């Protein structure tokens, strides 16, 4: 029991700072998520104060694309923790698999939602500083596509107290993910601003569209590649993505001054880029494929029996000869041409029968 009202149900997962648990709120009769500061840090008064301050900071944010944080638990509790809404779904990391690329109609809305959440946080003066697949959650939505939510707003203050996102915990694990850190973070700059979050969002879109890691290797290799801007063109091996080059040239510019100035500006540019790319001559049509967007959840998370999987179907171009050939008019479940042929046959037989009767 924590804060006199939260009864721990099960462990959901763990991270560099601590662990997350599902708990029952005995006062409001509902389920919540509790993020506990790890034992290595709970004993440090400075880290403890930063963690509780981060929880209060995150609680100021209210936006559909940001996980709802209810604030810190009892400050006098021996185990510092924050309380947040409990989410049903999976992190974006479950959807990013080598060789699996998503068409723009599915990738763009995810990153657009991230940018909308970031815009709200930035308006409140909060830089996230750790945008990566594990901090983006796709929540099951019975009424339609998953709802995208950004997790862990406010935690940058804790990381900075520990030496920054490139610092390592007692297990040697880096607090942030090297592949999604901006060049200024990779260079361990003393100060970063909102544009570092925009860089990370750009990397996520790059990986969704291309189906490959933007920066591969171990942590140090990734940091070095990020710092020098060693990124393969988005259309390398995927010529159909050529129209996206100008967008990524700005979104992932190594020099922070050459990037988008705000999440709102980047979100608007993303919409324009998607529209421009859709007007490009399409590549040769491929057979439609279906990709299950409901990956197996991490062990212990379970799956709601009533949850319906969300499927993505890769659309074909209506301008292709193959699409036109398959777009035959239908009458109910039977093609019109079949009805016409049957009608003609019946007419012939009817006419012959009439002649036979007349001859008799």
pLDDT of residue 323: 27
Q: Say if residue 245's pLDDT is above 90.
A: yes
Does residue 204 contact residue 213 with C-beta atoms inside 8 Å? no
Q: Say if residue 206's pLDDT is above 50.
A: yes
The mean pLDDT of 226-251, rounded to a whole number, is 92
Report the alpha-carbon distance of residue 120 to residue 173 in Å, rounded: 30
- Of 189, 158, 144, 127, the residue nearest 18 (C-alpha): 158
SS3 292: strand
pLDDT of residue 51: 92
Q: Say if residue 316's pLDDT is above 50.
A: no
Report the alpha-carbon distance of residue 144 to residue 359 in Å, rounded: 67
And the tokens for 242?
Answer: 């050529």
And the tokens for 358?
Answer: 């007349």
Report the alpha-carbon distance of residue 334 to residue 126 in Å, rounded: 59
pLDDT of residue 86: 95
For 105, residues 6+ apart whose C-beta sits below 8 A from its C-beta are 315
pLDDT of residue 65: 96
Q: Which fold has domain 1-86?
A: Phosphorylase Kinase; domain 1 (3.30.200)
Highest mean pLDDT of the ranges 37-46, 322-331, 339-348: 37-46
Q: Which of 27-41, 170-184, 249-263, 317-331 has the lowest mean pLDDT?
A: 317-331
Q: Where are the domains of the chain?
A: 1-86, 89-320, 330-359
Higher pLDDT, 63 or 320: 63
Q: Say if residue 347's pLDDT is above 90.
A: no
User: With bands split at pLDDT 50, 70 and 90, how would you rate the model's confidence at 58?
Assistant: very high
Q: pTM for the whole thing?
A: 0.77
Report the alpha-carbon distance of residue 116 to residue 108 in Å, rounded: 12
Taking only the tens place, the pLDDT of each residue in 327-337 is 222 233 334 44
Q: Which fold has domain 89-320?
A: Transferase(Phosphotransferase); domain 1 (1.10.510)
């Amino acid at each position: 029991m924590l804060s006199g009202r939260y009864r721990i149900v099960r462990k959901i997962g763990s991270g560099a700072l601590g662990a997350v648990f599902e708990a029952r709120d005995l006062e409001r009769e509902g389920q919540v998520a509790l993020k506990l500061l790890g034992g290595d840090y709970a004993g440090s008064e400075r880290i403890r104060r930063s963690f509780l301050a981060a929880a209060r900071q995150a609680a100021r944010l209210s936006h559909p694309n940001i996980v709802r944080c209810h604030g810190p638990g009892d400050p006098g509790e021996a185990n510092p923790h924050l309380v947040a809404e409990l989410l049903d779904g999976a992190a974006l990391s479950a959807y990013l698999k080598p060789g699996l690329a998503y068409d723009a109609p599915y990738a763009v809305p995810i990153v657009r939602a991230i940018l909308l959440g970031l815009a709200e946080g930035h308006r409140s003066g909060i830089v996230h500083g750790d945008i990566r697949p594990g901090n983006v959650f796709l929540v099951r939505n019975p009424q339609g596509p998953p709802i995208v939510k950004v997790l862990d707003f406010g935690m940058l203050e804790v990381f900075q107290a520990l030496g920054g996102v490139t610092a390592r915990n007692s297990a040697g694990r880096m607090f942030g993910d090297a592949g999604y850190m901006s060049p200024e973070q990779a260079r361990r700059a003393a100060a970063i601003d909102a544009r570092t979050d925009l860089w990370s969002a750009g990397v996520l879109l790059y990986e969704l569209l291309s189906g490959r890691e933007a920066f591969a290797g171990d942590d140090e290799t990734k940091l070095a590649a990020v710092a020098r801007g060693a990124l393969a063109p988005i259309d390398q091996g995927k010529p159909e993505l050529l129209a996206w080059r100008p967008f990524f040239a700005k979104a992932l510019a190594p020099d922070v001054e050459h990037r988008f100035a705000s999440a709102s500006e980047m979100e608007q540019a993303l919409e324009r880029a998607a529209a421009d790319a859709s007007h490009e001559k399409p590549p040769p049509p491929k057979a439609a494929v279906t990709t299950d967007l409901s990956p197996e959840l991490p062990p212990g998370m379970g799956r709601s029996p009533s949850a319906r999987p969300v499927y993505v179907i890769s659309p074909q171009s209506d301008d292709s000869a193959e699409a036109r050939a398959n777009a035959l008019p239908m009458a109910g479940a039977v093609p019109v041409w079949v009805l016409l042929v049957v009608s003609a046959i019946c007419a012939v037989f009817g006419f012959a029968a009439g002649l036979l009767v007349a001859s008799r």
